[in-house]
């Protein structure tokens, strides 16, 4: 049973405060979880509670959320069985009492939910991926590595937020990391040679002074080729334009490029990029408020491109179900802090799988050394993880954890490869 809960305020990869929770069970087992934080958040995400006290951390303090962990939440969950995750999460949701965890904060609730799961895994002497996923949890995800950063994650004029490489042709996860690292370093050299900055953005990808997706894709494609890999075969391209950030008054407002695209023009533009570059997956190609645009794009590209909903679903099972019913996206991004409990996260993954949607486990742009999502990617067998570039320990920590999991699984481990994205060949 849960014997002790300790919340504290720590700092994340952007130097902003976030919640960390330690849980101790009566048998002495320990679990610790730290909560991530987004910059380009969906409007319907669970609420991240901040103190709004300008005298501390520019208003971003989380002493209030930590206070709830150590007070109300601890009072409600001490004595509960750690293995009864659904019961625990139900208690947390009911104690909060709002539809979006606005009272106690999804940051307070998620910290407790994940720390309890990790303590329970420790009590069973199981790694988290096996505790959550069972003996069948042995599929290592394809990493989507974000090597060029723009949008809300960098100060450059790039309108699109993320340009990623996915080593679908690797034989193992460790090999995928090697391939990604090699391309990352080739790209660094190429950018330097072209007179660009090689400073990195929030997710560890380069943030060169580029304006258009074409320019970024050319650099990434060139780096793949110059490293000796076949684009589309060994390594495919993935983008997250994060369009909710620049959809205004019914049009897509490309401030970096200095032009606007109507919904139809946005669809045509993306279809053109997919025709000219080996892009296998696009996340938030259309904005969270542009469901008609989403359906238009699905008709146009849905059969041969993974179209992943992030802001439009917010890891929320109800929003996902509505999207499944109405033909929005064919894939869902899963971010634990968008919904706030492990149980709800797993429910969303289950709903996606039953509808034939693919699932991408994901970090946030604000991260910590916590590697829970690496285990959850294997636990759910989702086959894909998005967790940043091949630099910055907050990003590489997840890749390193997956390397360890692959080693531990030994001959049982299977790398998801190209089928994970719904690609047939
Ligand atoms: P965020 O961005 O963590 O800043 O919200 C990540 C994403 O849009 O996928
Ligand atoms: Zn996104």
**Nearest atom, ligand 1, residue 283 CA:** 9
388 CB-near residues (< 8 Å, 6+ apart): 145, 146, 203, 204, 205, 363, 367, 394, 395, 396, 398
The ligand placed nearest to the CA atom of residue 202 is 1
Distance 5 CA to ligand 2 centre (A): 32
Q: Quote the ipTM score.
A: 0.99
pLDDT (mean) for 82-99: 98
Q: How confident is the model at residue 422 (pLDDT cuts 50, 70, 90)?
A: confident
| Ligand 1 contact via 159 beta carbon (within 6 Å) | no
CA distances from 195 to 135, 190, 227 (A): 51, 9, 20
Q: How many helices (H) and strands (E) does the chain have?
A: 14, 16
Q: Give the C-alpha separation, 146 to 159, whole Å.
A: 15
Residues with CB under 5 A from ligand 2 (ion): 240, 242, 283-284, 310
| Cβ atoms of residues 113 and 105 within 8 Å | no
Instruction: Write out the catalytic residue numbers.
Output: 203, 335
Of 357, 326, 320, 325, nearest in space to 338 by CA: 320
What mean pLDDT is reported for the chain?
A: 97
Bridge partners of 21, per DSSP, are 7, 33
pLDDT at residue 275, as a whole number: 97
| Cβ atoms of residues 169 and 177 within 8 Å | no
Distance 190 CA to ligand 1 centre (A): 26
The ligand placed nearest to the CA atom of residue 40 is 1
| Ligand 1 contact via 240 beta carbon (within 6 Å) | yes
Distance 332 CA to ligand 1 centre (A): 13
pLDDT digits (tens, 9 = 90+) for 311-343: 999 999 999 999 999 999 999 999 999 999 999
Q: Give the C-alpha separation, 325 to 363, whole Å.
A: 27
Statement: residue 250 has pLDDT above 80: yes
| Ligand 1 contact via 40 beta carbon (within 6 Å) | yes
pLDDT (mean) for 33-53: 97
Identify the sign of the CA torsion 169, 395, 187, 305: positive
Q: For residue 103, what is the DSSP state?
A: T
Statement: residue 256 has pLDDT above 80: yes
CA distances from 335 to 311, 385, 391, 406 (A): 10, 10, 21, 22
């Amino acid at each position: 049973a849960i014997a002790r809960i300790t919340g504290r305020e720590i700092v994340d990869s952007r130097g902003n405060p976030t919640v960390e929770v330690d849980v101790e069970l009566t048998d002495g087992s320990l679990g610790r979880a730290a909560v991530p934080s987004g910059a380009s958040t969906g409007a319907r995400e669970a609420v991240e509670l901040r103190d709004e006290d300008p005298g501390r951390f520019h208003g971003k303090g989380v002493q209030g959320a930590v206070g709830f962990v150590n007070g109300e939440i601890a009072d409600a969950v001490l004595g509960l069985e750690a293995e009864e995750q659904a019961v625990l999460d139900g208690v947390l949701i009911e104690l909060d009492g709002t539809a979006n965890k606005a009272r106690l904060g999804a940051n307070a609730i998620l910290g407790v939910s994940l720390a309890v799961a990790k303590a329970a895994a420790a009590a069973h002497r199981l790694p988290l991926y096996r505790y959550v996923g069972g003996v069948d949890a042995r599929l290592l995800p394809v990493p989507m590595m974000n090597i060029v950063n723009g949008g809300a994650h960098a100060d450059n004029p790039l309108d699109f937020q993320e340009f990623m490489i996915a080593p679908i042709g690797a034989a193992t996860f460790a090999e995928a990391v090697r391939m990604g690292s090699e391309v990352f370093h080739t790209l660094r050299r190429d950018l330097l040679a072209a007179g660009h900055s090689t400073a990195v953005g929030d997710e560890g990808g380069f943030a060169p002074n580029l304006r258009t997706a074409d320019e970024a894709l050319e650099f990434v494609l060139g780096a793949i080729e110059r490293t000796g890999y076949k684009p589309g075969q060994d390594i495919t391209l993935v983008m997250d334009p994060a369009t909710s950030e620049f959809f205004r008054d019914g049009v897509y407002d490309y401030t970096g490029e200095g032009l606007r695209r109507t919904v139809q023009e946005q669809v045509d533009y993306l279809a053109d990029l997919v025709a000219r570059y080996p892009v296998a997956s696009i996340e938030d190609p259309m904005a969270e408020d542009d469901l008609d645009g989403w359906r238009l794009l699905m008709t146009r590209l849905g059969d041969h491109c993974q179209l992943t909903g992030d802001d439009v679903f917010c890891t929320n099972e109800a929003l996902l179900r509505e999207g499944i019913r109405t033909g929005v996206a064919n894939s869902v991004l899963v971010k634990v802090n968008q919904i706030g409990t492990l149980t709800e996260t797993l429910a969303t993954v289950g709903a996606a799988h039953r509808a034939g949607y693919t699932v991408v486990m994901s970090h946030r742009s604000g991260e910590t050394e916590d590697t829970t999502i690496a285990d959850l990617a294997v636990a759910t067998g989702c086959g894909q993880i998005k967790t940043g570039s091949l630099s910055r320990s907050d990003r590489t920590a997840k890749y390193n954890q997956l390397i360890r999991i692959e080693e531990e699984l030994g001959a049982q481990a299977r790398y998801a490869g190209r089928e994970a994205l719904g690609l047939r060949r």
